[in-house]
Amino acid sequence: MSKTPDLALRFAGIKLRNPLVLLSGTAGAGREIKKLVELGRFGALCTKTVTFQPRPGNPPPRIAETPSGLVNSIGLENPGFARFLEETAPGLRSLPLPVIASIAGNGPELSRMAEALTGAGPAGLEINLSCPNVGGAFNPTAPTEIERLLREVRRATGLPLLAKLPPDFYRIGDLARAAETAGCDGLTVANTLPAMVFDLKLRKPRLGGITGGLSGPAVLPVSLYLVHRARQAVGLPIIGSGGVHDADGAVSMLLAGAQAIGLGTVNFFRPLAYREILQALAEFRTAGPGRRKPTP
């Protein structure tokens, strides 16, 4: 009988049992989602982004479904860093997988949070530079600004550092290079695509925050393009993030150049998809090109 291949990898200095990463904003801090999935079967979990000050988030409605997609306008609702550090961080080590803490803010805030989280529970940090639902201070867009910000954070922590880049089709290579030059250990490529949905009866936007970020199967081909471009630009390991919902999408992410595969919106509509994906990854590891049957 053939042996199941070992899918373990070191990603940005973090030991993962397999390449599957539960993406930020779709898995809480593990407590909630562990009622739906076996956390110990994933490589890592990335927590919902926390900011230095608490944020109430955007007005409702905050979610709108679209064909093959979901537009969210959450607005980084979170209880603030002090509560995260006191109430959430200490429990992260007892989860059966490494946890990456996602943080957003300006340079001084990010540095303070990164320093305080060092040794406090998370196995690594993801700097969210790309939430489409908050203002510019949290989202530098120029490669030079991104590099400056990430250098500041790099000085504050020895934890593995990932940059979650925006889906900037034209400059994704430059942004990836900026993160690499600043000393990041890995990338998450990318965040949701800026989007809008209208209620035609009311003739008004469906989201309380007016605009939002599109995720789900609809964005997969775009994510593959972004990962491919980032891979051409840098050697950093990449979490391919955006639209993976089945085995074919997961394998495509690896072919595009990702080392790890993010599962996000799929957790809301098919949380057990990871089972078939893990099986496909094992087959992909053992079979040569053309050997794996695509999902019917």
Longest C-alpha distance within the chain, in Å?
A: 61
Q: Least distance to ligand SIN from the beta carbon of 291, Å?
A: 37
Q: Of 74 and 224, which has the nearer Cβ to ligand SIN?
A: 74
Residue 216 within binding range of ligand SIN, rule CB under 6 A: no
Q: Least distance to ligand SIN from the beta carbon of 288, Å?
A: 38
Dump the DSSP string for the chain: -PPPPP--EEETTEEESSSEEEPTTSSTTSTTGGGTS-GGGSSEEEPPPEESS-B--PPSP-EEEETTEEEE-----B--HHHIIIIIHHHHTTSSS-EEEEEE--HHHHHHHHHHHTTSS-SEEEEE---TTS-GGG---SHHHHHHHHHHHHHH--S-EEEEE---TTTHHHHHHHHHHTT-SEEEE--PEEEE-EETTTTEESSTTSEEEEESGGGHHHHHHHHHHHHHH--S-EEE-S---SHHHHHHHHHHT-SEEEE-THHHH-TTHHHHHHHHHHHHHHS-TT-SPPP-
Residue 90's CB is within 10 A of a number of other CB atoms, namely 11
Q: Please, which of residues 126-185 interact with ligand SIN by CB under 6 A?
A: 128, 131-133
Q: Least distance to ligand SIN from the beta carbon of 141, Å?
A: 14
Residue 64 within binding range of ligand SIN, rule CB under 6 A: no
Q: Please, which of residues 76-95 interact with ligand SIN by CB under 6 A?
A: 76
Does the annotation count 131 as an active-site position? yes
Scanning 26-34, 70-78, 168-176, 277-285 for contacts with ligand SIN by CB under 6 A, the matching segment is 70-78
Output phi, psi for 65, to 5 deg.
-85, 145
Q: Of 173 and 208, which has the nearer Cβ to ligand SIN?
A: 208
Which amino acid type is present at position 154?
R
Q: Least distance to ligand SIN from the beta carbon of 214, Å?
A: 10
Which of the residues 131, 178, 218, 244 is marked catalytic?
131
Residue 144's CB is within 10 A of a number of other CB atoms, namely 10
Q: Please, which of residues 277-296 interact with ligand SIN by CB under 6 A?
A: none
Residue 213 within binding range of ligand SIN, rule CB under 6 A: yes
Q: Of 24 and 157, which has the nearer Cβ to ligand SIN?
A: 24
Scanning 9-17, 73-81, 112-120, 232-240 for contacts with ligand SIN by CB under 6 A, the matching segment is 73-81
Q: Least distance to ligand SIN from the beta carbon of 57, Å?
A: 7
Q: Of 16 and 71, which has the nearer Cβ to ligand SIN?
A: 71
Residue 147's CB is within 10 A of a number of other CB atoms, namely 22
Which region, left, alpha or beta, applies to residue 68 given φ > 0 means left and ψ of -120 to 50 means alpha? Answer: left
Q: Please, which of residues 181-210 interact with ligand SIN by CB under 6 A?
A: 191-192
Q: Of 18 and 73, which has the nearer Cβ to ligand SIN?
A: 73
Contact letters (x/-) for ligand SIN, 21-50, by CB under 6 A?
Answer: ----x-----------------------x-
Q: Of 74 and 114, which has the nearer Cβ to ligand SIN?
A: 74
Residue 101 within binding range of ligand SIN, rule CB under 6 A: no
Please identify every residue annotated as catalytic: 131
Contact residues: ligand SIN, CB under 6 A: 25, 49, 72, 74-76, 128, 131-133, 191-192, 213
